[in-house]
Structure 1
């Protein structure tokens, strides 16, 4: 019974890790992009 559960659990765990990794990477890119835009606006208020 356990031998049939382990691969499923491992697969779900890897999928979860991949999802979190891609989500965090997108979030990080969004944050850095917004920060650079924000700092650019601070440095150049006329823009």
Structure 2
């Protein structure tokens, strides 16, 4: 996935938790998924 290994993904997840807090992560992931779905639907 974008040339990222498991160590990089763990570091990225840690940074996201520090920036947004553990309670905001599911909400953030949900909104990113919704946006990705919307973009995918636009192109199909």
Please provide the CA RMSD for this pair: 1.3
Where does structure 2 lack aligned partners over 5 or more consecutive residues? 1-19
- Taking the TM superposition and a 5 Å limit, the aligned residue runs for 1:8-23 are 8-23=27-42
The count of aligned residue pairs is: 25
Q: TM-score if structure 2 supplies the norm length?
A: 0.52
5+ residue gaps, structure 1: 26-47
Which one has the bigger helix percentage?
Answer: 1
Structure with larger Rg: 1
